[in-house]
Amino acid sequence: QVQLVESGGGLVQAGGSLRLSCAASGRSFSMYTMGWYRQAPGKERDLVARMMSTGNTAYADSVKGRFTISRDNAKNTVYLQMNSLKPEDTAVYYCYARTLLDTFWGQGTQVTVSS
CA dihedral 83, 52, 9, 111 (to 10 degrees): 70
The strand pairing partners of 59, in sequence order, are: 49
Identify the pLDDT of residue 6. 96
> CB atoms < 10 A from the CB of 21, how many?
17
Identify the pLDDT of residue 1. 86
Residue 47 Rama label (left phi>0; alpha psi -120 to 50; beta): beta
Identify the pLDDT of residue 28. 87
Amino acid at 14: A
Give, for all 115 residues of the chain, the pLDDT tens digit: 899 999 999 999 999 999 999 999 988 888 899 999 999 999 999 999 999 999 999 999 999 999 999 999 999 999 999 999 999 999 999 999 998 889 999 999 999 999 9
Identify the pLDDT of residue 26. 80
